[in-house]
Structure 1
Amino acid sequence: MKYEPINSNLFIKNRKNFMAQMSDNSLAVFNSNDIYPVSADTTLPFEQHRDIFYLSGVDQEESILVLFPDCPKPQYREILFLRETNEHIAVWEGEKLTKERAFEVSGVKTVFWLQDLEKVLFELMSYANTIYINTNEHYRANVETETREDRFTKWLRNKYPAHSVAKSNPILQRLRSVKDTIELDLMQKACDITEKGFRRVLDFVQPGVWEYEIEAEYIHEFLRNRSKKFAYTPIIASGNNANVLHYIENNQQCNAGDLILMDVGAEYANYSADMTRTIPVSGKFTDRQKAVYNAVNKVKNEATKMLVPGTIWADYHVEVGKIMTSELLGLGLLDKADVQNEDPNWPAYKKYFMHGTSHHIGLDTHDYGLLHEPMQANMVFTVEPGIYLPDEGFGIRLEDDVVVQENGDPFNLMRNIPIDADEIEDLMN
């Protein structure tokens, strides 16, 4: 890992919070992700399953966490199972967690090698009545691959069919959506690294550069600041490419007079930043571009004010739609007849702003969180309105990551990343 060590108190607290919501005499199991093959002997870079990371800080493959708060043997109430390491493995694959190091990272005192799993689990299951299995129930999930977690769950239910089954996901959806102060610091770090990348790009962009060259500038700055990668596939969309919401080819040349929409974010310690900025290739907006830009920025600022405890996500989006409608009327993109005759299920503003304004962000870019429940303090949301004008050859989206506060205004983790149109022009010139 490139990131600095994380205080294990975070993971100790996360486990305590999870176990407090488990039913009596129950046991929960969490698996690492697979290492996925490409072909021949190549694999994709390993990405740890965010749930086991959230609960343990363990960031390597073939790891299992077992939680059993009511176990009659106190030493078995928290257990980590790790792939055994030795000098030979260290030579070929690099350092893996020792039992001692695993305790330092996670705060879990009982650590076994993976080959002891079935034997220890057999004893534990004789005490437990219920198994908590970990399924992916995120509202955007569309998983076609059988995961390591899926295979383990299938094996566990087959071997112990008399046990009741419960789900970990509803507990994790609520816990992970509210961030600890340590998590907020890690997310701030991811945003600060993203800022460095953006400022580097402002100095780099000029007519004739290619979208992939801009992408390269970002990843250079991210890596040199202890990020291992983009938090998600970056969008570097010049000209009309910005009107493709998930444009990721990043293979076109940037022409004088065009705008570039850049939806990028650094990860840090598995936490995501999610930023969008739109800048002029030539260093100066046209009057029309600036008018649309300022309208989007105004919607973003007004939407941000609504991210307070008690807000319902669906109601929030209705209110954002009203603000966007007002701005589109001012730009001449809508008229009063468009609004009066609109379909309530697809309001007139959706012609130019067809996506949502906010989503949870944290360990996942589209993080855990139950959208039908009221917002709470220390939840973190993106705010990302946009106006897309294919007939005019440009689209503008602006996005920051914002913390809901118990009292006072929402806190913008991207407050230091330039966004004012005049400031963008000054920095580029």
Structure 2
Amino acid sequence: MKYLPINRDLFIKNRKNFMAQMKSNSLAVFNSNDIYPVSADSTLPFEQHRDIFYLSGVDQEESILVLFPNCPKEDLREVLFLRETNEHIAVWEGEKLNKEKALETSGIKTVYWLQDLEKVMAEMMALADTVYINTNEHYRAKIETETREARFTKWLLEKYPAHTVAKSNPILQRLRSVKDTIELDLMQKACNITEKGFRRILNFVKPDVWEYEIEAELMHEFLRNRSKGFAYTPIIASGNNANVLHYIENNQQCKAGDLILFDIAAEYANYKSDLSRTIPVSGRYTERQLAVYNAVNRVKKEATKMLTPGTLWADYHVEVGKIMTSELLGLGLIDKTDVKNEDPNWPAYKKYFMHGTSHHIGLDTHDYGLLHEPMQANMVFTVEPGIYIPEEGFGIRLEDDVVVQEKGEPFNLMQNIPIEAEEIEDLMNQ
């Protein structure tokens, strides 16, 4: 890993919070992700399953965490199973966690090698009545590949059919959505790296530069600051490409007079940031571009103020829609007749702003969080309004990551990243 060691107190606390919500006489199991094949002997870069990382800090493949808080055998209340390491593995693949390093990372004292899994699990399952399985129930999830977690769950339930089954996901959705101060520090680090990348490209962008050249500049800056790279597939969309919401080809030349919509951000220690900015290729916004830009920025500022404890996500989006409607009227993109005759399920403003304004962010870009439950302090949300005008050849989106506060306005983790049009122009023309 490129990131610096994380204080294991975070993982100790996370496990304590999770176990406090488990049923009596129950255990829970969490698996690492697979390393996914590409072809021949090629594989995709390993990405750890966020849940086992959240609960243990273990960031390597073939790892299993078992939690059994009221096990009569005290040494089996928290157990890690790891792939056994040796000198051969160290030479060919690099250093893996040994038992001492696993304790240092996670705070878990009982560590077995994977070859002992079935024997130890048999002992633990004999003492438990309920087993918590870990399923992906995120509202955006679309899973076509059988995961390591799913294969393990199938094996476990076939081998132990008499146990009651419970779900870990509802507990994790609530716990992971409210960030610890250590997590907020890690997310701030990711945002700070993103800032470095964005400031770098403000000095780099000129007419006729290619979108992929900008992507390369960002990757350089992210990697040199201990990030693995982009938190998600980057969007660098010049001109009309900005009107494709998930444009990821990044293979076009940036022309004088056009805008570039960026949806780019760094990760750090598996924690994500999520930034959108829209800048002028030539270093100056036209009058029309500036009018639309400032309208989006005003919506963003007003939307940010509404992210307070007790707010419901659905109600929040209705209110943001009203603000956007007012701005679109002012820009002449819709008129009062459009609003009067609008479909309540697809309001008039949706013609130019068709996506949501905010989502949870944390270990995942679209992080855990139950959207039907009220917002709480220390939840982190994006705020990302946009206006997309294909007929005028540009689109604008602005986005920051903000922390809900117990009192007062949310704290913007990206407050130091330039966003005002005048500042962006000044920096591009230095």
Could you state the TM-score of these two structures normalised by the residue count of structure 2?
1.00
Distance 2:426 2:351 in 1: 32
Alignment root-mean-square deviation, CA: 0.3
Name the counterpart of 1:299: 299
Name the counterpart of 1:364: 364
Runs (4+) of structure 1 exceeding 3 A deviation are: none
- CA offset at residue 409 of structure 1? 1.1
Name the counterpart of 1:60: 60
Distance 2:48 2:341 in 1: 49
Q: Which amino acid aligns with 1:328?
A: L
Q: Which amino acid aligns with 2:352?
A: Y
Deviations 1:211-249 (A, max 9, x none): 000000000000000001200000000000000000000
Name the counterpart of 1:49: 49
- CA offset at residue 185 of structure 1? 0.1
Name the counterpart of 2:278: 278
Q: Which amino acid aligns with 1:356?
A: G
- CA offset at residue 359 of structure 1? 0.2
Structure 1 residue 104 and structure 2 residue 104: aligned? yes
Distance 1:343 1:133 in 2: 42
Distance 1:155 1:278 in 2: 49
* Secondary structure, aligned partner of 1:51: helix
TM alignment of 1:223-242, pairs within 5 A: 223-242=223-242
Q: Which runs of 5+ in 1 are unaligned?
A: none
Distance 2:9 2:416 in 1: 29
Structure 1 residue 378 and structure 2 residue 389: aligned? no
- CA offset at residue 328 of structure 1? 0.4
* Secondary structure, aligned partner of 1:38: strand
Structure 1 residue 148 and structure 2 residue 145: aligned? no
Name the counterpart of 1:214: 214
Distance 2:305 2:117 in 1: 50
Deviations 1:73-101 (A, max 9, x none): 01100000000001111000000001000
Name the counterpart of 1:39: 39
Q: Which amino acid aligns with 2:232?
A: Y
* Secondary structure, aligned partner of 1:285: coil
Distance 2:359 2:407 in 1: 21
TM alignment of 1:27-426, pairs within 5 A: 27-426=27-426
Q: Which amino acid aligns with 1:218?
A: L
Deviations 1:323-346 (A, max 9, x none): 000000000111111111111110
Distance 2:88 2:336 in 1: 73
- CA offset at residue 287 of structure 1? 0.3
* Secondary structure, aligned partner of 1:226: coil
* Secondary structure, aligned partner of 1:22: coil
Distance 1:345 1:101 in 2: 54
Identity, % of aligned pairs? 85
Deviations 1:251-288 (A, max 9, x none): 00000000000000100000000000000000000000
Distance 1:370 1:289 in 2: 37
Distance 2:136 2:85 in 1: 30
Q: Which amino acid aligns with 2:154?
A: K
Deviations 1:156-181 (A, max 9, x none): 00000000100000000000000000
Distance 1:298 1:213 in 2: 31
Q: Which amino acid aligns with 1:158?
A: E
Deviations 1:129-183 (A, max 9, x none): 0000000000000000000000000000000000010000000000000000000
Distance 2:224 2:124 in 1: 45
Q: Which amino acid aligns with 2:160?
A: Y
* Secondary structure, aligned partner of 2:288: helix
Deviations 1:26-84 (A, max 9, x none): 00000000000000000000000000000000000000000000100011000000000
Name the counterpart of 2:23: 23
Deviations 1:355-393 (A, max 9, x none): 000000000000000000000000000000000000000
Could you state the TM-score of these two structures normalised by the residue count of structure 1?
1.00
- CA offset at residue 408 of structure 1? 1.4
* Secondary structure, aligned partner of 2:408: coil
- CA offset at residue 114 of structure 1? 0.6
Distance 2:341 2:83 in 1: 63
Deviations 1:272-305 (A, max 9, x none): 0000000000000000000000000000000000
Question: How many pairs are equivalent?
Answer: 429
Q: Which amino acid aligns with 1:135?
A: T
* Secondary structure, aligned partner of 2:317: helix
Distance 2:231 2:335 in 1: 39
Distance 2:242 2:124 in 1: 54
